[in-house]
Amino acid sequence: MKGLAPKITLAFLFAIIVTLLLYSLILNQSIDEQFNNYIHANLRANNEKIASALAYAYIEDGGWTATTGVDISTLVKYDRISLRVRDINNFVVWNSINLHYDLASLFSLQSNNDTTTISYPISVNNETVGFVDITYFGIIPLSDLDSGFRISINKSLISTGIFSTIFAIFLSVIFSSGITSPLTNMTKIATQLRKGDLSQRIEVSSSEDEISELANAINHLAETLEKEEKLRKNITADIAHELRTPLMTLQGQLEAMIDEIIIPTPDTLASCQEEVERLSSLITDLEQLTSAESASLELNKELLSLTDLTRNIVDAFQSQYKAKNITLSFYANKRCNIYADKGKLTQILINLISNALKYSCPDDKVTVKIFYSENNIILRIIDTGLGISEADLPYIFERFYRGDKSRNRETGGSGIGLAIVKSLVEAHQWKIDVASALHKGATFTITIPFNNIYQDNYD
């Protein structure tokens, strides 16, 4: 069977029919029981009536005669009941089988197993004057009214069953299509998404059931895919743009040399080499960015001293800082052991400390600090340099974003450094913030939470 709808319909039907069958069985059983009780009570009342009619005939006749109460046997013979009256000494007064030929022939066809006999005492003034043996066919004789009632109950049970089954089929089809139609809709949307139309979304109903959850998950997936797709397109455009500028310059210079407009001198060749270097550093940056963005998958964490590692990097930068006449200082807590990927942490520090150098002027100060705050270790790089404008501040961690374009041509940045830092920081599940204002320096703060910190730090 293909499709979910027929399967759900069948499951519903099966459940409903089984319930109906069980219900009918139980109902039938209990009706039977009630009906039997009623029949027995009826029978008892009838029999008592016969016994008291015979007692009345006894009183009328002043004792038993061969015809005392005989007319009663004529009355009940149509109900196929035979009566035998005995006196107190058990002598048979009369027997309706002997009186009615047709009843006798009817009873002679029956075996004893098919008849039931009940004996009743006949009492006059609380004294037993005889007995009546009442014999009838089968276990319980049903009057026409009784059997009619029984048949009509059975009929209505059967017709209710048939009607309920038809109604159940109808409901099952409605319910199953109610369940499957959102799924069919989702399949349609998912197919459109697969074909590349990432703008498609599923309408989510307000009910918080599994189907709405699935729809939300698909919508979320579509949103992520759409964002990724936009990002991919943007990156491709950015990379193309970044590659084109140095290549065009290079091409222009080389063409001019070929056309002998410029003569190749060491200076012109050096400028060509500069462009080639820009290209190769851009490619290195791109490689680093790619590996930074997949860093969370391949972090190689180890227990290391943040203080020692930072101090070594600061020391390595000192000569470059001195050359630009910028002071680089370092302050740290004695023990700051953390779990981190050494190579990636080194890259974070290099990018931030080199940015501080790039965007500071002679006589500026750069301070690298490591300290505890509540349950975190804080790594802070503070510079008194050029600072970042309010307009640039929200974007500086984005790929290829460069604060002040003209300034950056000079510094030769590609706008990838901070994107790499952010990816690496987040891969470690740390946090990075920046506080800055134009001409007022910049402060980059990395927060390393407690679960990354080696307990021994507090001893």
Q: Which residues bind ligand ADP (CB under 6 A)?
A: 355-356, 358-359, 383, 385-388, 392, 396, 401-404, 408, 413-419, 442
Nearest-angstrom CA–CA distance, 4 and 403 = 57
CB of 273 to ligand ADP, least distance (A): 20
Tell me the torsion sign for CA atoms 284, 290, 296, 299.
negative
CB of 293 to ligand ADP, least distance (A): 14
Residue 334 φ then ψ, to 5°:
-60, -55
CB of 405 to ligand ADP, least distance (A): 8
Measured from the CB atom, is 339 or 401 closer to ligand ADP?
401
Measured from the CB atom, is 401 or 454 closer to ligand ADP?
401
Measured from the CB atom, is 59 or 437 closer to ligand ADP?
437
- Using a 10 angstrom Cβ sphere, with 0-12 exposed, 13-18 middle and 19 or more buried, the burial of residue 90 is exposed
CB of 227 to ligand ADP, least distance (A): 21
CB of 320 to ligand ADP, least distance (A): 15
Nearest-angstrom CA–CA distance, 268 and 278 = 16
Measured from the CB atom, is 281 or 337 closer to ligand ADP?
281
Residue 195 φ then ψ, to 5°:
-80, -5
CB of 314 to ligand ADP, least distance (A): 15
| Residue partners of 130: CB distance under 8 A and separation at least 6 | 54, 58, 64, 85, 86, 87, 88, 93, 121, 122
Measured from the CB atom, is 56 or 401 closer to ligand ADP?
401
Measured from the CB atom, is 95 or 355 closer to ligand ADP?
355
Q: How far is CA 94 from the centre of its chain?
A: 84
- Using a 10 angstrom Cβ sphere, with 0-12 exposed, 13-18 middle and 19 or more buried, the burial of residue 35 is middle
Of all residues in the shown chain, the one whose CB is closest to ligand ADP is 403
Q: What is residue 86's three-state secondary structure?
A: strand
CB of 303 to ligand ADP, least distance (A): 29
DSSP per residue, 128-189? EEEEEEEEEESSSPPPHHHHHHHHHHHHHHHHHHHHHHHHHHHHHHHHHHHHHHHHHHHHHH
DSSP 261: S
Measured from the CB atom, is 281 or 333 closer to ligand ADP?
281
